[in-house]
Structure 1
């Protein structure tokens, strides 16, 4: 493995007061910008709740120089990037990621929209309805309302207890007083002295600084206006309270401790290793999960929430509190030196592997001496009892350090030189299994970087064994800390494991995965999950409906003995691939090449109903390509690229039928299709379907009236050199399941470049004629028409 490529970091303040943070990381393929305004929802006058969030929305609606169709959001989407914004209590963030060649144009648009918003009344009236729809969804969201209830234990006059979401009543756009407040808030806070710009990319620090300087010159200049400090979090001498609701017990602590010190404490509180707090709570059936996090941090005020998901036992609050305090007593008396070293390794590893956007947003720091002192003062102030239980600190993460090399090459653990050349039956069987071509390694991605990807997919004779993901959560967390995103997905009778990140720890992670899967015992109880908003619930349900494994139901439980698996590695050097191949010999199941045949809808319109917590209408429409040919995929990808902006503009901005509106290409087990999604607080499912059909009927005119179809920008996004490893590997995995050749990316790119207007018109006709079928997943019964109810 090459030497760790940690990013070079530079902080500076420009002459107009703009604070700049630059990170140069040569491994990155894209650039990212995060613009933070030191102003948030708590900085707004009590007369206008939601004004800060409202302004954030308005800034995306275009300027005189860059109308909405040419603004930052449309530009980023057109070039395959990421974009979003967030209004917090005391900050507002705008962030995007783009390819290197288009990054400067993105910064130009960001500066213009921050400095010269139109703020037209007609735009405000439309956008207020969008905020009101978000407010309605927020008021129905279980997690959001649990947070509101949790904060009621604070002092009533603290802004955290106030209403800041914004809705139709709190944003009186028609009143001049509101307009004046909106303009004054923008003028006061949206200027250089109030902003921090963070850039991350492969460019040199000098190049990044030049981009930051050019950006700053387009901003309105102004000084830093200190934000008003909030009142005390809690009254009197109180500094903690408990809140119990919905099978959760929260221990909330108000304190004055640096953020990195609280993050340090949370790491060890959340550890699931034997001898820790969570392990003991589980052993006593008092809790099934524990999540410590920082809810709020500003101006010397911090709020720590220790959220414990209650277990099978009933009234156990007193026992849980006693164990929590006992563990904290043990922790404060422990030697923190090895923990601080581990914490520094964790921070360094994240910076080593994070993408451009995550790296630009990363403000984590190592634990300072001041942080240590503040954390110990906090723990001392809790007047903890003497530790009675025998606790253990979690062991070092085994994946954070290079594996120890065997001193005697060729010997198996436990053998001496006298055993050299002897093999067991199990080893012979493993050797044979490793030679099976079920595990292949793609050469489509360069192997000279630190990162790679590995996909493993099992097929069972019946439903996937229960509890797999829960049992693997500790492994998942250790892998994440070591630079590997480990994810799991169940698709009917198939179960997929995906690893993306640093390739050096991957063989060890595969070894640990095999060990975990081979261990017998009762699967752990599923975690209590907070209900998702409707559209997310539908997205989670969609893949299972699209997968046809050809396996019927079975009364017998799924067995690893008869399970079959195959895998694909990408971007992995030869030595790593060999180590992974050795490790996979220990995986349960039989390695074989599995055939994946997408379900052919034969032009049908199938409707799947999914029950969700929300009463709002939510719908996904998945339209597979008529065939699995690359010609069809290229044309439909270009069509999706062309219609993404207009679809959002029409349904979200002009018609305002929903706040969750999106479209794009989606691949499910190798099947490519166009996906449309809408969640609406006002429209019915029938109304959404009607709007979708009306939009699709207008595609021929959209294609004819488009001066540029976008062939070149889309083709450039799909090169192995431009794609982040996670996206490139995902494309290769789906191509592998579809039976495409190893030159899939190059062939797809070439076909996209040569697609004509006539090709797009043909694809639009196929889409409207449901040549590949339509699959609708919604939270209500089928609409009238040609829909067939499906399971």
Structure 2
């Protein structure tokens, strides 16, 4: 087998005690940093639950050197990156992804905010209210409530049973004892001995090491602090229990103790439990109509302890089938345990991990490195797996009521033979280039249907590509039919994802979209399987619809609202495909893959769409999406004129300039809630400025008033910029759309929306040029048109519109 370690990855300890991991990945055009602090919510004194999460929040509020307008969050957003943090039980992660040109500035700000946090009490009081709002929303999430209930059977002394989220009452900021605990926790754990910094990018290992060493010099130095070992997971001596909640059954397995490398062993086990293959556990339970979905995952791991959850979900109350499900699971587990060393499954798992590493982005690779993720189950991992299986089934089972089978290999993981070079046919070499044959002439005459465009805007020199297929239907798909189609792809989606391809089927009004993104080689084969399933989907059991928090539900509904009209519902699949028209786009597909795609496209149901149709005109409208939550949420979408690139450039710059002040005003200063955001959003080819807020205390009318006031002040935001500041902001945004900065998948998404909007194939170049030549007067005019709602606003909210929404608006 190939070597475990990536040839361009190194892990070392710096002189200041920091563990530094660096990985060079030449195929990337983005860089990522993940800084892990070995301290989490379970390391906090019991008197102050939520302190670790609270400190994570405080660290993002700016430092003396980098204030709020130029802190890490504002900097990453300004350069088109992504950023977040997460407090877990025994560690806290801070992470971001940026273009290489901006990476050093991000790393500088990350280290500075961990070394010099602002902890004044006024700031703490404001941020505690944000944390309290987040806590309220979290406790109302059904999934969070179920998770808390599942843990009640554990040892009461174990910290998993305790409250750790943090709220207004658990964080008594004025108390000197709390302030001392906050400082003690920070000083004890936020130092280099407790930190691991993982850097990934296209730069050389030497350059990444130099960046890590230079910017981490400001961090407080220290030695590793042993984290206190928790008590036993179970106080009863048992290793397993179950929990039933309506449509959900969870089998819980507490491992204590486990040998080394148990994390990779449990990951391996969960992968095969989740495998949706003939002869496997999922297939057997579905065939008996006992479940709809199954998910196995570790919910807790620390040193030699682990808690594994096997969650089964049914379309109706699961209690009457719980015993049969448990028996079937135990029967499968006995079959799996009887396999000697699992050589075939280990080889398959190794191929899968190799593929995942080959297609992962910078941020995912940095996460893998900080966790020291391995590509295969080692011999020591096999020992750990045997120990886990022994604890899961202490008594042997004899005989089986099922004809279990090991899963068949994933066909999409197979690496094909070296393709023939583009421009040559079999038997030719590069010496024949330029010579033409009749066979080649016939190949050139075979044109793909005009409805499918093969874009060359992104060079096909990478592993990533994208394919979009969209059907225009005679009406809106009936919900039952849509779920049936999506269910028919479920097994295929799992195989495709393991092979590095994301496959998604979604509906929006009278359109059905099939999207594939990722590793290009298996795409034609995956698409052919997908088309076959869509034409002849099997039967299915309806899965329960998860309850989303209000703002997430609005975001999910936004594209659908855009396309909604008076079109009839379509419930007859044969009629649907008979009258459907399709169009598509393929981006960054190599010539060899394009040739294979042409034959696959002949199997697309419906007829090719010959003429482009414009997106519908917008009106000033308000849609209500009520929910069960007591919190209120509002989305305000301000569309740009369709088809005008200069307007799109201005809208993009306004989104770029508004993002930080909108967050600062509505979240930090007004404290409307923790879900506050703005940015540019494209929906079915329509470009627009999107503002969103969810609040635990403000009404929709109040939220609308604050958003409207901000939008009305957009022209003032532009006029306040001097020429230098405007030029810097414009250039910074334009660079995000340069060929050096755009990732293949990001570029493909832009090109797809450009196609829907009717833009020509040179859209990316034209957009870059439009941004670079954008002037302040044009941007100010766009801000004024948005403020006056000349193109209308689309609002989606949990309550009815206030009267002010329609006053003076078109």
Query: TM-score band, normalised by the shorter chain?
Result: over 0.9
CA distance in 1, matches of 2:517, 2:790: 35
What is the alpha-carbon distance in structure 2 between the residues aligned to residue 103 and residue 693 of structure 1?
Answer: 35
Task: Tell me the residue number matched to 1:35.
Answer: 35
User: What's the CA shift for 1:704?
Assistant: 1.9
Structure 2 residue corresponding to 1:547, chosen from 538, 563, 568: 563
Residue in structure 2 matched with residue 453 of structure 1 by the alignment: 466
Counterpart secondary structure, 1:342: helix
508, 526, 550: which one aligns with 2:525? 508
Given that 1:87 and 1:93 are in contact with CA atoms closer than 8 Å, whether structure 2 keeps it comes out as yes
Q: 1:435 to 1:695 in 2, by over 3 A?
A: closer
Alpha-carbon distance in 1 for matches of 2:331, 2:312:
16
* Greater CA drift, 756-765 or 379-388: 379-388
Work out whether residues 596 and 669 of structure 1, in 8 Å CA contact, stay in contact via their aligned partners in 2: no
1:327 to 318, 325, 332: 332
State the SS of the aligned residue for 1:437: coil
Map of 1:187 onto structure 2: 187
Residues in 2 aligned to 1:373 and 1:555: alpha-carbon distance in whole angstroms: 52
Match of 1:402 among 393, 415, 432: 415
Given the alignment, which residue of 620, 627, 643 partners 1:628?
A: 643
Question: Is structure 2 residue 753 aligned with structure 1 residue 747?
Answer: no
- Contact 2:642–2:757 (CA<8 Å) still a contact in 1? no
> Residue in 2 aligned with 1:175?
175
Residue in 2 aligned with 1:421?
none
Matched, 1:339 2:356: no
Match in the other structure for 2:667: 652
Q: 1:727 aligns with which of 746, 756, 760?
A: 746
Task: Kindly provide the CA deviation profile for residues 5-42 of structure 1, in whole angstroms up to 9, marking residues without a partner as x.
Answer: 96621111112211111111000001000000000011
Question: Which residue number corresponds to residue 417 of structure 1?
Answer: none
Q: Which residue of 1 aligns with 2:792?
A: 773
Secondary structure class of the residue paired with 2:183: helix
1:266 aligns with 2:270: yes
Give the root-mean-square deviation of aligned CA atoms: 2.2
Q: After the TM superposition, which residues 451-490 of structure 1 pair with which residues of structure 2 at under 5 Å, given as runs?
A: 451-464=464-477, 465-466=481-482, 467-490=484-507
Does residue 1:440 correspond to 2:432, yes or no?
no
Q: CA deviation at 1:510?
A: 1.1
Could you tell me which residue of structure 2 aligns to residue 600 of structure 1?
Answer: 617
Q: Please say if residues 517 and 587 of structure 1, whose CA atoms lie closer than 8 Å, have aligned partners that are also in contact.
A: no
User: How far off is 1:224 after superposition?
Assistant: 0.6
Deviation string 1:667-694 (CA, Å, 9 cap, x unpaired) is 1110111011100011110000000111
Alpha carbons 2:485, 2:537 under 8 Å: kept: no
In structure 2, the residue corresponding to 1:677 is in which secondary structure?
strand
Deviation at 1:530, TM superposition (A): 2.5
Alpha-carbon distance in structure 1 between the residues aligned to 2:612 and 2:467: 19
Structure 1 residues 275 and 553, CA gap change in structure 2 (3 angstroms): closer
1:485: Cα distance to partner? 1.4
The normalised TM-score by structure 2 is 0.91
Provide the rounded CA distance (Å) in 2 between the counterparts of 1:658 and 1:263: 36
After superposition, the C-alpha distances for 1:107-165 in whole angstroms (9 at most, x for unaligned) are 11111100111101110010000000011101111111111011111111110010000
Deviation at 1:404, TM superposition (A): 7.3
Offset at 1:548? Answer: 5.8
Residue 529 in structure 1 maps to residue 545 in structure 2: yes
Please identify, of 289-298 and 432-441, the stretch whose mean Cα deviation from structure 2 is larger.
Answer: 432-441
Aligned twin of 2:310: 306
Q: Which residue of 1 aligns with 2:608?
A: 591
- Alpha carbons 2:315, 2:541 under 8 Å: kept: no
Distance between the aligned counterparts of 1:728 and 1:612, measured in 2? Answer: 36
Structure 2 residue aligned with 1:317, among 302, 319, 322? 322
- 1:406 deviates by 12
How far apart in 2 are the matches of 1:548 and 1:288? Answer: 30
Query: Any idea what the Cα deviations from partners look like across 1:63-100, whole Å, max 9, x if unmatched?
Result: 11111111100000000000001011111100001110
Name the SS for the 1:661 alignment partner.
strand
- In the alignment, is the contact (CA less than 8 A) between 1:532 and 1:613 conserved in 2? no
Measured after TM superposition, the shift of residue 405 of structure 1 is 9.8
- For 1:6 and 1:449, the matched residues in 2 are separated by 19
- Name the stretch that deviates more: 208-217 or 543-552: 543-552
- Counterpart secondary structure, 1:220: coil
> 1:705 aligned to 720, 725, 731, which one?
720
For 2:603 and 2:6, locate their aligned partners in 1 and report how far apart those are by CA, in whole Å.
34
Structure 2 vs 1, CA of residues 712 and 277 (structure 1 numbering), >3 Å: closer, same or farther? same
Per-residue CA distance 1:231-263 (angstroms, 9 max, x = gap):
110014211100000211110001144111111
Q: 1:330 to 1:647 in 2, by over 3 A?
A: same
477-486 or 464-473: which moved more? 464-473
Say which is worse superposed, 727-736 or 479-488, in terms of deviation.
Answer: 479-488
Give the alignment's TM-score, normalised by structure 1. 0.93
Q: CA deviation at 1:781?
A: 1.7
CA 1:134/1:320 → structure 2, altered by over 3 Å: closer, same or farther?
same
Q: Where does residue 700 of structure 2 map in the other structure? A: 685
Q: 1:7 to 1:628 in 2, by over 3 A?
A: farther
Please give the alpha-carbon distance, in whole angstroms, between the structure 1 residues aligned to 2:384 and 2:390.
10
Instruction: For residue 787 of structure 1, report the CA deviation from its aligned partner.
Output: 4.1
Mind listing any 5+ residue stretches in structure 1 that lack a counterpart? 411-430
How far does the alpha carbon of each residue in 1:428-474 deviate from its partner, in whole angstroms, 9 at most, with x for none?
xxx99974211110110011111111111112212333321121111
Mapped partners of 1:99, 1:405: distance in 2: 32
Whether the 8 Å CA contact 2:476–2:568 is kept in 1: the answer is no
1:715 matched to 2:734: yes
Q: 1:33 to 1:392 in 2, by over 3 A?
A: same
**Given the alignment of the two structures, is residue 219 of structure 1 paired with residue 236 of structure 2, yes or no?**
no
Matched residue of 2:476: which SS? coil
* Unpaired runs of at least 5, structure 2: 427-443
Q: How does 1:119-268 map to 2 (within 5 A)?
A: 119-255=119-255, 256-257=257-258, 258-268=262-272
Q: What do the CA deviations read for 1:453-505 (whole angstroms, capped 9, x no partner)?
A: 11111122123333211211111111111011112221012111111111111
Partner Cα separation in structure 2 for residue 205 and residue 729 of structure 1? 29
Matched, 1:572 2:580: no
| CA contact 1:548–1:599 (8 Å) conserved in 2 | no
Equivalent-residue separation in structure 2 for 1:550 and 1:593 (angstroms) = 24
- Residue 656 of structure 2 corresponds to residue 641 of structure 1: yes
The structure 2 residue matched to 1:385, chosen from 397, 408, 411, is 397
- How far, CA to CA, are the matches of 1:547 and 1:433 in structure 2? 35
Distance 1:384 1:462, change over 3 A: farther
Residue in 2 that maps onto 1:76: 76
In 2, are the aligned partners of 1:329 and 1:387 still within 8 Å (CA)?
A: no
Q: Find the aligned partners of 1:549 and 1:690 in 2 and give their Cα distance.
A: 28
User: Once structures 1 and 2 are overlaid, which stretch shifts more, 253-262 or 665-674?
Assistant: 253-262
- Provide the rounded CA distance (Å) in 2 between the counterparts of 1:123 and 1:623: 33
1:702 is displaced (CA, Å) by 1.4
